[in-house]
Chains A and B, each alone.
Chain A
Amino acid sequence: MIADWILFLGLAFVAIVSALGMLLSKSAVYSALNLIINFVTVAIFYLILGAPFIALSQITVYAGAIMVLFLFVIMLLGAERLPIGVALPWQRPLAIVLGIVLILEAAYLLISRLGVLPAPGAVGADFGSPKAIGLALFDAYLLPFEVVSILLLVAMIGAILLSRKREREP
Chain B
Amino acid sequence: MVPIQYYLDLSVILFTLGSLGVLIRRNAIVIFMSIELMLNAANLAFVAFSRMHQSINGQIFVFFIISVAAAEVAVGLALIVAIFRSKHNIDIDQMNSLQG
A residues near B (Cβ < 8 Å) are 4-5, 8, 12, 15-16, 19-20, 22-23, 28, 31-32, 35, 38-39, 42, 45-46, 49-51, 53-54, 57-58, 61-62, 65-66, 69-70, 73-74, 76-77, 79, 82-87, 91-92, 94-96, 98-99, 102-103, 106-107, 110, 114, 116-121, 123, 127-128, 132-133, 136-137, 141, 144, 148, 151-152, 154-156, 158-160, 162-163
Distance in angstroms from B67 CB to nearest chain A CB is 5
User: Secondary structure of the B side of the interface?
Assistant: helix
Nearest A residue (CB) for B10 = A12
Closest A residue to B71 by CB, please name it: A155
Main secondary structure of the interface of A (DSSP, over half): helix
B40: chain A residues at CB < 8 Å are 38-39, 42, 62
Which residue of chain A has its CB nearest to the CB of B58? A51
| Size class of the B contact interface (CB-based, 8 Å) | 35 or more
25 residue pairs bridging A and B, Cβ less than 8 Å apart: A4-B1, A23-B17, A51-B47, A51-B50, A53-B59, A54-B59, A58-B66, A61-B69, A69-B73, A69-B77, A73-B77, A73-B80, A73-B81, A84-B91, A85-B91, A85-B94, A86-B93, A87-B26, A110-B9, A114-B5, A118-B3, A127-B56, A137-B60, A152-B67, A163-B78
